[in-house]
Amino acid sequence: MYKLYCRSYQTAYRAALYFLPWRKPRLIEGENSLSELPAVLKGEGILRVLIVTDEGISALGLMDGLLQGLTDATIDYTIYDQTVPNPTIGNIEDALKLYHESGCDAIIAFGGGSPIDCAKGVAARVARPQKTIPEMRGQLKIRRKLPPLVAIPTTAGTGSEATIAAVISNPETHEKYAINDLVLIPQIAVLDPLLTVNLPPHITSTTGMDALTHAIEAYIGRSRTRETMMCSRQAVKLIFSNLTEAYTNGEHLTARSHMQKASYLAGVAFTRAYVGYVHAIAHTLGGFYSTPHGLANAVILPYVLDYYGESVHQPLAELADVAGIGSRADTAAEKSTAFIEAIKKLNRDMKIPDKISGISDRDIPLMVKRALTEANPFYPVPKILSQADLTKLFSQIKE
C-alpha cells in the first residue's frame, strides 16, 4: 500500500510538470567567456551587484578579471565571501542583509555549488521577504520573480547553474534540505573552463562524480523525458571520456571544458527528472557530519545501484553502451554489472574511498528517517526502498 501511495504521488506530480514554465539559463561559454559578462549586465541596465562566493575563491584571485570588468562597465559590486560548504541559513541571512544595505539589483554566484545555493537562497528571500528559508522548503514555495541571478561555476559537478534547487543546511538541527522552484534557475550561466584549471585533484574527482550521479539518477528514474535522457547520455559519455584526464592533467582545457558541459547537461537532466536515494543519503551525511556532497555521492552511488538490482539493469546497460563499457553481446544484467564496476574503478583510480568514515551507529536511525522523508514519496526512483533497506545501505557504506 505504501509503495502504491508513492507511485501515485509521483505519477500526479510528473503529470503536473508538463504544465510548468520550464526554461534554461542563457549560456555564456568557452575560454575567457567570463570577460563577456559585464557588458551583458550593463546591457540589462544592472547598476550594482552582490557577488556571493567563499574565502577560498577570494584568496585565489579568480574573480579579479570579473571585478575589473565590472569596474570598467561602471557596475558597482559588493562581495559576500563567508559562504561555507553546505551553506547555512545564517549565510543566506548575512548575505541578504548586505544585498539590501548596498542597494543591489542583481546577484552573481561565483564558486562551486555552495555559493550558488547560497545566492539562490538570497534571491528567494529578496523575492519573498516575509518567508523564512524553512518556510520555502520543498516544492514551489517561492513563485515570485527573482532579481537577476547569474551563476559562474568554478567546479564541474553540481550543475546548480541549471537547476531549480538550492540545498541549505541547518547546523542546529543537522538537517540538509532543498528549496525547489523554477524561478531559482539562474537567468545566466557562465561556463569558462579557465576557472576550473586550478582545482585540486580531489575536488575535480568528487565534483565530477557528483555530475555522474546526477546523470545516472535522472536516467534510471521514472520521471525522465526524451530530453533528460538525451542530456544524461551525453553527460555520462563526456564524464567517462574526460574526468580522468581532468583529474590527472588539470590544465587540459578541452577536458575541463567537456566536464563543465557534462555538469551542466546533468543539471538540466536531474532538475526535471529528479534524483534518488543516493542524494537522500548523501544529504543526511552532509547535515550530520558535513561530508562533502560530491564525496558522499561518489561513495554511495555504486552501493545503491547494486541494491536496486534488476530494476536498473536495462537503463544501466544503455548507459554502459554510451560509455563504451562492456561488450555489445553482453546481456543487460552483464552490462549493468560492468557499468557499476567501471564506477568503482573510476573511484579507485582517483583515490576516492569506498566507505564513509565517522558514521555513528546511534545516528543511523534518525538519518534513515530523514533520508526516507526526503525520498518518499517524492523521488521517482526505480525501486521504492524501505526503512530496513536504507538501514542496510547505511551499514554498507560506513567504515
Structural domains in the chain plus CATH codes? 21-195 (3.40.50.1970), 201-397 (1.20.1090.10)
191: enclosing H helix or E strand: strand 188-191
User: What pLDDT does residue 141 have?
Assistant: 95
Nearest to 50 by CA among 1, 100, 8: 100
User: What pLDDT does residue 60 have?
Assistant: 87
Which amino acid is present at 210? D
Per the CB < 8 A criterion, the answer to whether 273 and 225 are in contact is yes
Please report, for residues 8, 257, 391, the alpha-carbon distance to residue 260 in angstroms, rounded to integers and kept in the order given. Answer: 36, 5, 35
**Per the structure block, which three cell numbers stand in for 118?**
547560497
Distance in angstroms (rounded) separating the CA atoms of residues 357 and 160: 27
Nearest to 317 by CA among 306, 308, 330: 330
Per-residue pLDDT in tens (0 to 9) along the chain, 399 residues = 889 999 999 999 888 888 888 899 999 999 999 999 999 999 999 999 999 999 999 888 899 999 999 999 999 999 999 999 989 999 999 999 999 999 999 999 999 999 999 999 999 999 999 999 999 999 999 999 999 999 999 999 999 999 999 999 998 898 999 999 999 999 999 999 999 998 999 999 999 999 999 999 999 999 999 999 999 999 999 999 999 999 999 999 999 999 999 999 999 999 999 999 999 999 999 999 999 999 999 999 999 999 999 999 999 999 999 999 988 879 999 999 999 999 999 999 999 999 999 999 999 999 999 999 999 999 999 999 999 999 999 999 998
Nearest to 303 by CA among 219, 218, 385: 385
Distance in angstroms (rounded) separating the CA atoms of residues 277 and 296: 12
User: What pLDDT does residue 250 have?
Assistant: 93
Q: What is the DSSP secondary structure assignment for residue 290, as one 8-state letter?
A: -
Residue in the structure block whose three cell numbers are 543537522: 174
Distance in angstroms (rounded) separating the CA atoms of residues 384 and 117: 28
Distance in angstroms (rounded) separating the CA atoms of residues 92 and 150: 16
Instruction: For residue 249, give every residue at least 6 positions away whose Cβ sits within 8 Å of its Cβ, in sequence order, or none.
Output: 255
Under DSSP, is residue 232 helix (H, G, I), strand (E, B) or coil?
helix
Per the CB < 8 A criterion, the answer to whether 394 and 367 are in contact is yes
Per the CB < 8 A criterion, the answer to whether 259 and 246 are in contact is yes
Distance in angstroms (rounded) separating the CA atoms of residues 64 and 305: 42
Instruction: For residue 76, give every residue at least 6 positions away whose Cβ sits within 8 Å of its Cβ, in sequence order, or none.
Output: 47, 48, 49, 70, 102
* Structure-derived torsion over alpha carbons of residues 35, 40, 46, 50, reported in degrees to the nearest 10: -40
271: enclosing H helix or E strand: helix 253-273
Per the CB < 8 A criterion, the answer to whether 343 and 315 are in contact is no
φ, ψ for residue 150, nearest 5 deg: -115, 135
Distance in angstroms (rounded) separating the CA atoms of residues 97 and 91: 10
Other CB atoms within 10 Å distance of the CB of residue 172: 9
User: What pLDDT does residue 2 have?
Assistant: 87
Distance in angstroms (rounded) separating the CA atoms of residues 346 and 205: 9
Distance in angstroms (rounded) separating the CA atoms of residues 361 and 368: 11
Beta strands, E only, 124-174: 138-139, 149-153, 165-170
* Per-residue exposure over 121-159, b if at least 16 CB sit within 10 Å of its own CB, e if not: bbbbbbbbeeeebeebeeeeebeeebbbbbbbbbbbbbb
Distance in angstroms (rounded) separating the CA atoms of residues 190 and 69: 14
Q: What is the DSSP secondary structure assignment for residue 88, as one 8-state letter?
A: B
Per the CB < 8 A criterion, the answer to whether 262 and 238 are in contact is yes
49: enclosing H helix or E strand: strand 48-52
